[in-house]
Every structure is written in structure tokens, then in C-alpha cells.
Amino acid sequence: MILVVAEKAIAGERISTILAEKKVSPSMEGGAKFFLFEHKTEQYITVPLRGHVSDVDFPKKYSYWLGTDLRKLAVAEIEYRDTEKPILDFLRKVAKDVELVIIATDNDREGESIGFEAINALKEGNPKIKVKRALFSAITPKDIDTAFDSLEDADKNMADSADSRREIDLVWGAVLTRFLSLVSGRLGKQFLSMGRVQGPTLALIVNREKERLAFNPKDFWEIAAVFSKGSKKFEASHKNGKFWDKEEAEKAFDCKNLPKGIVTKVTKKKRTLKKPFPFNTTSFLAAATSIGFTAGRAMRLAESLYQSGFISYPRTDNLAYPPTIDLKAILKSLENVVELRADVQKILALGKISPSAGKVSKDHPPIHPVAPVAREKLQPDVWKVYELVCRRFLATLAEDAITENLSVDIDLNAQPFVATGQVFVKKGWKEVYPYSKATEVFLPSLAEKDVLDLVDLNFASKQTQPKPRYSQGSLLKVMSELNLGTKSTRADIIQKLLARNYIFGKTTLEPNKIAFAVIESLEQHAPVISKPNMTADLEKEMDFIAAGKKKKPDVVNESREALSKALEILLEHKNDVGSHLRKALISDSIIGDCPTKGCGGQLMIRKGRATGKRFLGCSNYPKCTTTYPLPQKGSLSPIEERCPECGNIMIHLKGPRMSFKMCIDYNCPSKEEWKKRSAEKAAKKTAKDKKEGTKKK
């Protein structure tokens, strides 16, 4: 019998169905799912895993935070423990009947590591079992048949590379997290998380915020005009752009005294807007975050589409389609998708297909569709990601866009103005890729010496702005450039920082006071943890393991040595670090002054000892017993404005799917509508419970 190991159930079922050339139903035994079928007269069994089926951890003697010496933890032995025992026990049981095992997990380092977890369990039951590897980038009949007809050897170096990351991240994460949590007194569910990649990533966000806070805005002035020719109005701006001297700007503004402009020059130029490169992981996530997804969710949805056989493997650095991909065949298949048909036919009508191409990587092909699927068969968010991938694919095969750009110089009382227009001569890829706006600005027909009427002249006072905060997309790009993490882990790192409440924000990422304190402490006492250099160097070392140039134990031990050196410095300054963090924790929990007359205390976010629920309480407790209930979900931050209804403190509540301002006083008139909705909801629930209770009787 031949045993196929798949990474997840959905992939296992699809691979089995392709090999069997018919729908294959799952069977269950002791909590393990498997698929039995025949392929080329051989008996096959596919056993899907659930991702990693074993995990790295320390021996139990290190599980007590308060009683563990962090120096010993940094060099402690590491164990691999079964996390999916029913699956592993099933593999051990059937191993004796298996002649060959084919690893068909994701074709990357993580997939290789997962495959070897299955191999280790199988060899416990059958040490002589033969092992082969099926390598594919899409779960389609063509890709699976090709992979299973040309099996390769499993790559232990690739698995070791992934496992070295798991071991290194375990040690760094455990030591740094425990250190920060212990010295700050922040234990339990509110512990302060830190890790090898988390540190420099959080430092990027904090340091960008510091730049913004230190930014000194500079005043400038702009002059904009509205002209008309006949009945057609259009805008123009002063050719100087920004005026840094107010007197000079005011002098230029005096041109309004002569309300006639004269066209002095008309310039026409054609401009080519190159079609975009295919999606790699970084550019895909940047595009997905720009249309409302978090990076983590976008990647999960892309993985589900890959496992279902609709798109290629979504973890790749490649920006060029390999010649083995039949682009025209994929295009023709997409004609079956109603929402894409018209745009697909436009590209097919071009005849020759010339895809765009960026940097070539010896990796999976760029992310692209591999099979059509009807919109109604996917959940709305899944369809949104599928359509994004499809339309990017179409854009890479379309023609470049061409615009005609018009620049018109206008003299207004000896002051130079310029109007610019843009129209599309050929929309090309812009027509099939709506995520990139095709902006057109139309000007009337203008020629030299035309006299124009001045309709309006605007004098605007402005200030320079600091660099914007990072979005998830822009942060992913910088992480990639600095070699922080991998294409497979970067989205998870950002998600972890959000989950640990170091940062918040849907469109842009903003750090809280605790994030500032953590990074300031690390930069002052152990900068190696907050700088990208060490992390990037370790990534290269892991590449060497994958290439067979270094051994896993050597790289792991070298990283432990670097951690131990940083830890010694942190322990030497633990009182300073702890004090800095505790002050930040207190400051971060303060919402505002206590409204009780004569109290003088401050309202702070507290947690009930018995319930664990958060509420606002006065810092002068028990002298002052003023309290306010709080929502139990979302991050809270104070805002300067006061409630327009009662004048009390307002807070900003943010969460993954919410962002709004609210008064802290439950009895405020602004809460009446909310109370009414809550009462109606409670009444409906009571009525439903009564109805269900009557049915049961």
C-alpha cells in the first residue's frame, strides 16, 4: 500500500479525488481522517494532517515562570511533543502495511518540516519504509499528476531549516517574554510578549511614531485658480507650487486684480503606464490590505483557495511566470466566470500574450488563478480575494495603459499658472484592474494666446505633514526589504502585535505607551533585540541550513549565545527596565481625571478580582469609590473631546471590526438609543428561549 501525507483535510481530499479520478469519501478511525482509493492498480491511503502535528517546547520543569532561571532557559533542551496524537497513532498503526510514503504537503520549508513529522511517526512503526516527495505549486489535475509521476527525495535540510526557526523563536520568545513580564509585574493573560522578529518589527512602528511626534510642521502657502473658456471651467495652480514666504505668496496673490489669463504654452505628451508585475506574497498582501483585509486574514483566505484548487500556492517571492505555465489555457478557463468573462475576452482578442515580469526567483510561480469558480460557491470574503488574484492575473497579461497628458501654461497678471489634463488613449490593464484608479482630468480645447476668464483665486495656508504611519501593506514591504521574518511569517508577526495590544488601527498602525516603553528599554539596554541586523543575519543562517551549508544545531546554538549575551545586559538593568515598563503600564491605563468633586484622583482601567472584567475606577480608591463599567472587548484610549450631552470623559473604542467614540457614563442621554436596542435584543432572546422551552415540553 502507498500512503500519501497531505497537510490538511481539504487538500487531502482534493489530491485523493484527482488521483482516483472520482469523488473519494473520507473514513475515520480514532479521531484520524483518511481516504482510501486506487490509482494505477495500486492501493492508496491519504492521511491529512492538521498542519504541524508536533510542537517544540521546553521540558515541564521550565513551565513555572517565577521559579525558572532565565539564564538556564536560554540554553535549555528542547522537546518535540505530539499535538495531534490520534493522527500520529494512526500513522504508527498503518505503517507496517505501507511500502512507500509520499509526502504531499505544501512545497516549502514549513511543509517539509510537517512532512518529516509524519515520516518520524511512520518509521516508528516501520523503520524500513521508503519515502518520496511530490512537489507541486497548485492542486490541479495537471500539477498533481505531474508531481506524482516524477517523485523526488524528501529534503531533510529544508525541514531542518524550518525546525531551526521553530527552536530559535521558542527560545527567544520564551526568554524575552518572561523577562519583560516578570520585571514589569505583568503576568497572567496580560503578559508582555516579545520575540526575535516581533522586536525589530515593533521598533519600526514605534520609531515612525517618534518621528511623527518630533516633527515640526512648516508653514507654506499655495495659490489655486479656476479659469473658464466659454462655459467650461477648469483648475490651475501657481507654478511655484509651495510658497515658503508669506509675503511672496501675498504678492503673487495680487494677480487677482486682473481677472484675465492668457495661454502662453500648450504641451502634449504621451505617457505609458506599465502593467503591474504578477503577485508575490508581499505584493498580494499589500493589495489585499488596501481593500480592507488584515494581512493575516488575507493569507488564510488565499490558503483556503489554494487548498481548494482555485489559485496557486500563495507563499512565493517570484515575480515572473515560468514558461511551463499555459497562460492562455488559464485565460480560457476563466471565461467560465461570469464576472470576468468580458475582460478575459478582451485579452484573448489581443492574440499574442506578453506577460509582465519582475524579479525571477527559484521559487513557486507568482500567485495566479488555476481554475474557475462561480461567485455563489464562495463566501463573500473568499470571492473578494479570488477576484483580486484573477484580476491581477488579467492585468499582467493586458496591454500597457497609455495616456495623453496636457500641460497648459497661463499668465495671470505676470504670475505663472499651469493646468494639467490627462485622458486615456488606451486604458489597457487599467480596464481590467479596478483596484488601480484610472483618473482622467479633462481640459477644454486650448491654444496659445487664448484669453481666459478668472472665475476664482484661492489663497490656502497649509503645513507640511510628517511621514504617514505604517499600514499593514507598507510595513510588510519594509519587513521584506530588511529581511525580517519570511513571506510565510510576516503577516503572523503583525497579527501577533495587534493581538498583544502593542499596536492598534485598521488602516494605519499606531503603537501604545507600553510599546514605546518596551522598545525604549530594549534600545537602551539590548539594542540587538530591537534592530533588524541580528534577525536578518539569522534568516541567512537558516538559508544556509536549507542549502546544506550549515547544520541546525550549530545555528540554534549560535542564536542562543547571542540571546544569552543580551539577557545578561537586561538582567543587569532589570530594575531600570521594570520601573520604565511599570510607569508606562500605569500611564497607559489612565483615561482622565476623576469627575468627583474635590477628589483629585485619576480614572484608571482596572479589573475586578472576582469577575476579571475591566472597569474604570479612581486611583484614590478606597477613599473615592467612583466607577464606570466598560465594554469588555476592544482597545480603549482617551480622547480630548468631552461628551456633548453630559460633558463627561469620552473614550475611543477600537477592535477588528469596530471603531467609535463613546461617553463613559452609562446614564448619559447619549446611551438611550443603545439601551433601547439592548432591551429589544434581550426581549427577543427571552421570547426565543421561552418558545424553545415550550417545544421541549
Written as one letter, the residue type at 542 is M
Cα–Cα distances (Å) from 48 to 137, 152, 308, 438, in that order, read: 18, 20, 14, 46
CA distance 360 to 338: 32
First-to-last alpha carbon distance for the chain, in angstroms, is 54
Residue of 138, 659, 55, 70 lying closest to 366 (CA atoms): 138
Tell how many helices (H) and how many strands (E) occur in the chain.
21, 23
Angle at 610 between CA 604 and CA 614, to 5 degrees: 30
Question: SS in 3 state form for 132-144?
Answer: EECCCCCCCHHHH
CA distance 608 to 666: 18
Beta carbons of 359 and 321 less than 8 angstroms apart: no
Amino acid at 480: S
Q: In sequence order, what DSSP letters do the residues of 536-559 get, joined into one string?
A: HHHHHHHHHHHTTSS-HHHHHHHH
**DSSP annotation of 670:** G
List Cβ<8 Å contacts ≥24 apart for 351-354.
353/327, 353/328, 353/397, 354/397
The span from the CA of 422 to the CA of 52, in Å, is 53
CA-to-CA distance for 278 and 368, rounded, in angstroms?
8
Q: State yes or no: is 621 an active-site residue.
A: no
Secondary structure class of 689 (helix, strand, coil): helix
Distance CA 140, CA 519 (A): 46
- Please give the Cα distance from 144 to 382 (Å, whole number): 23
> Of 545, 509, 558, 506, whose CA–CA distance to 196 is shortest?
558
The angle at the Cα of 492, spanning 486 to 493, to the nearest 5 degrees, equals: 75
Cis peptide, bond prior to residue 622, ω within 30 of zero: yes
Cβ pair 318, 280 in contact under 8 A: yes
Catalytic residue among 44, 306, 313, 433: 313
Cα 241 to Cα 587: distance, rounded to the nearest angstrom: 43
Half-sphere exposure of 158 (CA within 13 A, CB side): 17
Cell of 451: 484669453
On whether the CB atoms of residues 502 and 209 are closer than 8 A, the answer is no
C-alpha grid cell, residue 49: 494532517
- Cα–Cα–Cα angle for 608, 612, 616, rounded to 5 degrees: 45
Q: How far apart are CA 160 and CA 697, in angstroms?
A: 60
Distance CA 271, CA 633 (A): 50
**Which residue reads 479656476 in cell numbers?**
226
Q: What are the strands, taking DSSP E only, across 440-489?
A: 451-463
Measured CA to CA, the distance from residue 655 to residue 653 in angstroms comes to 7
Residue with cell 508536533: 54
Calpha distance 106→112 (Å, rounded):
7
What is the set of active-site residues? 313
